[in-house]
């Protein structure tokens, strides 16, 4: 079962209450998504763009995890996307300090012929225009289209494009702050109704250390907790790891059902809990099967009565 992942592959610079990256590290939505999905999905196909400054060993890391890089463009004379952010003490909110689009500014996503059979599509965080283009370039609509985005793409000047993509996706995964911004509603239940009316039949609202809510197409509701951790080093990428665990689970069980989505939300939460334990991608590049299974079990034990 193949999964197509599109999103930013980037340099990040991060400050959290527990430390900072002291310069640039590897990040980007599609980086986290592709690496995490590779644990569950044998065929992960990446569509992304980087500049000539992107380290070759980072590209080798994708290859080592079996990610198909035919759709990765390398613009030798340009610079990679760069994002810098600073987290507040609660670690649930952050300020974006720098967004340099660089190669993402005029990214024309090429979907290789070998990706055309993909049945699951993860539209990771990047410009809605690129997300729409990828959808248009797939001759056959995938069985399940999941989208992630962020406040940067909800600015009035890009909101119309965002709404165009929203109208075409099955599942939207965003955090509580973004859900409130997109819907104009404070209550997350009201927000879910407004956002579902924009297109996605299913909505996931992530609430950081307070877990995640899954709103189903027929008003079903499911909640998954987040793992209480002693220390959270860096929440960057947690949302992407969550989305990756979710869609990779759906792809692995070849499903689009709400029942399977519940388990997908648990898998996503488990993968996100690894991500925050170290800076950047450090914790998610080398996980063992048993580590993942044990972590998932912790989530089940957390809510078992
Ligand atoms: P998350 O913490 O899950 O929201 O994802 C953080 C990742 O998103 C970082 O690694 C950034 O490189 C990437 N990112 C930040 N801003 C943007 C943006 N405007 N478009 C695409 N990716 C972004």
Choose the residue to mutate in 15, 85, 125 for probing ligand 1, maximizing ligand atoms within 8 Å of C-beta. Answer: 125
The whole-number pLDDT of residue 7 equals: 97
Three-class SS of 219-271: CCEEEECCCCCCCCCCCCCHHHHHHHHHHHHHHHCCCCCHHHHHHHHHHHHHH
The whole-number pLDDT of residue 1 equals: 76
CB of 238 sitting under 6 A from ligand 1: yes
Query: For residue 291, what are the contacts with CB-CB under 8 A and spacing of at least 6?
Result: 274
CB of 242 sitting under 6 A from ligand 1: no
Choose the residue to mutate in 6, 9, 10, 161 for probing ligand 1, maximizing ligand atoms within 8 Å of C-beta. Answer: 10
Nearest CA to ligand 1 atom 10: 28
CB of 236 sitting under 6 A from ligand 1: yes
CB of 6 sitting under 6 A from ligand 1: no
pLDDT less than 70: residues of the chain:
none
Q: Are 102 and 126 in contact (CB under 8 A)?
A: no
The residue to which tokens 């949302």 are assigned? 239
The whole-number pLDDT of residue 93 equals: 85
Q: Rounded mean pLDDT of the chain?
A: 96
Q: What is the pTM of this model?
A: 0.97
pLDDT in tens, 136-190: 999 999 999 999 999 999 999 999 999 999 999 999 999 999 999 999 999 999 9
Question: How far apart are the CA of 10 and the centre of ligand 1, in A?
Answer: 8
Nearest CA to ligand 1 atom 5: 237
The whole-number pLDDT of residue 92 equals: 82
Rounded to whole angstroms, the Cα distance separating 140 from 242 reads 26
Rounded to whole angstroms, the Cα distance separating 216 from 272 reads 21
Torsion sign (Cα): 12, 17, 18, 23: positive
CB of 240 sitting under 6 A from ligand 1: yes
Superfamily (CATH H level) for 3-303: Ribokinase (3.40.1190.20)
Give how far Cα 128 sits from Cα of 7, 16, 78, Å: 10, 28, 22
CB of 176 sitting under 6 A from ligand 1: no
CB of 10 sitting under 6 A from ligand 1: yes
């Amino acid at each position: 079962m193949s999964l197509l992942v599109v999103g930013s592959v980037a340099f990040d610079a991060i400050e959290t209450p527990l430390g900072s990256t002291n310069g640039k590290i590897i990040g980007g939505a599609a980086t986290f998504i592709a690496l995490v999905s590779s644990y569950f999905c044998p065929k992960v196909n990446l569509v992304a763009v980087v500049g000539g400054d992107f380290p070759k060993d980072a590209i080798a890391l994708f290859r080592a995890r079996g990610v198909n890089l035919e759709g990765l463009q390398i613009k030798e004379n340009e610079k990679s996307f760069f994002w810098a952010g600073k987290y507040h003490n609660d670690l649930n909110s952050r300020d974006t300090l720098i967004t340099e689009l660089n190669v993402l500014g005029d990214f024309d996503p090429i979907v290789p012929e070998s990706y055309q059979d993909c049945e699951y599509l993860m539209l990771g965080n990047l410009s809605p225009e690129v997300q729409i283009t990828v959808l248009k370039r797939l001759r056959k609509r995938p069985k399940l289209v999941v989208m992630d985005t962020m406040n940067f793409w909800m600015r009035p000047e890009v909101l119309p494009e965002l709404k165009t993509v929203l109208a075409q996706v099955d599942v939207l995964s965003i955090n509580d702050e973004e859900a409130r911004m997109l819907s104009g509603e404070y209550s997350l239940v009201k927000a879910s109704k407004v956002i579902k009316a924009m297109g996605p039949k299913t909505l996931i609202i992530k609430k950081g250390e307070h877990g995640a809510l899954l709103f189903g197409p027929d008003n079903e509701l499911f909640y998954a907790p987040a793992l209480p951790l002693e220390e959270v080093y860096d929440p960057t990428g947690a949302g992407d790891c969550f989305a990756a665990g979710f869609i990779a689970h759906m792809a692995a069980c070849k499903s689009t059902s709400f029942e399977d989505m519940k388990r997908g939300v648990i898998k996503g939460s488990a993968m996100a809990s690894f991500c925050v334990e170290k800076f950047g991608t450090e914790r998610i590049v080398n996980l063992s099967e048993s580590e993942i299974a044990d972590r998932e079990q912790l989530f089940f034990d957390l809510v078992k009565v």
